[in-house]
Amino acid sequence: MAEHPPLRPSPLALTVLFMLLGEPLHPYEMQRRIKLWGKDQVVNVAQRANLYKTIDRLHQAGLIAVRQTERDQRFPERTVYELTEAGLRVSREWLVEMLATPRNEFPRFPAALSFMMTLGPEEAREVLERRAAALRETLDDLQRVLSGADGPLPPRITLIETEYVRAMTQAELDWLCSVIDELRSGALSWSQAELAEAAHQFLG
């Protein structure tokens, strides 16, 4: 038995494992299904290089195995993978861990927010309004998907992550609107002088 290097969980790795639960697949088919089911909104499968690297790591780690190598003359050679015993076990562990344990992934927006004070209140408002507009658009898309406007809806549990994304997007938009209002009304405001003063207090 070969040595299997350890592997840390990632959204894409989890997804590959679960894709193979039902039947063996080749990489492109995994990607196709991920898109078909709309899961490409929650796992980044757009840059396929990452998919291939992830599959490779899973293979090295012994969580998936090569089932066969197909050769259809129209296409390049395709390697079909299947889930191993270890892969089945690990996929469950990862799933529970990722669901139960929140982890700070340091998204870029809050980091940027923490320096918004270097803009003036006016410019800040203008910039946040652009963000709000973009969020309204994604929210519309989500709404359309969830309301079944694009064809009959599958069982609700299969769209639960979309419901989550919608809820979070709506929450961010609400927050943005409230801040924008306060910027407009002047309830939230600052000056560089005031901030320099405060910085002094903190640093001595």
Partner DNA sequence: TCTATCATGTAACCAGTTACATGATTTT
Partner DNA sequence: AAAATCATGTAACTGGTTACATGATAGA
* Binding interface with DNA (CB under 7 A): 5-8, 10, 12-13, 26-29, 32, 44, 47-50, 52-54, 57, 74-79, 106
| Minimal distance, residue 13 CB to a second copy, in Å | 10
The residues in 80-139 that bind a second copy, with binding defined as CB under 8 A, are 94-96, 98-119, 124, 127-128, 130-131, 134-135, 138
Using a 10 angstrom Cβ sphere, with 0-12 exposed, 13-18 middle and 19 or more buried, the burial of residue 18 is middle
Smallest Cα–Cα separation from 59: which of 45, 78, 79, 29?
79
Pick one of 43, 58, 64, 83: the residue that binds a second copy (CB under 8 A).
43
Contact 81, 65 (CB under 8 A): yes
d(CA 199, CA 194): 9
- The C-alpha angle 162, 143, 157, rounded to 5 degrees, equals 35
Contact 118, 68 (CB under 8 A): no
The residues in 7-26 that bind a second copy, with binding defined as CB under 8 A, are 9-12, 14-15, 18, 21-22
**100 or 196: whose CB is closer to DNA?**
100
Look up residue 25 and give its DSSP letter. Answer: B
74 in contact with a second copy (CB under 8 A): no
The site partner of 80 among a second copy, DNA, none (C-beta below 5 to 8 Å per kind) is none
147 in contact with a second copy (CB under 8 A): no
The site partner of 139 among a second copy, DNA, none (C-beta below 5 to 8 Å per kind) is none
The site partner of 95 among DNA, a second copy, none (C-beta below 5 to 8 Å per kind) is a second copy
Cross-strand bridge partners of residue 66:
81
Smallest Cα–Cα separation from 192: which of 183, 200, 180?
200
The site partner of 165 among DNA, a second copy, none (C-beta below 5 to 8 Å per kind) is a second copy
| Minimal distance, residue 108 CB to DNA, in Å | 9
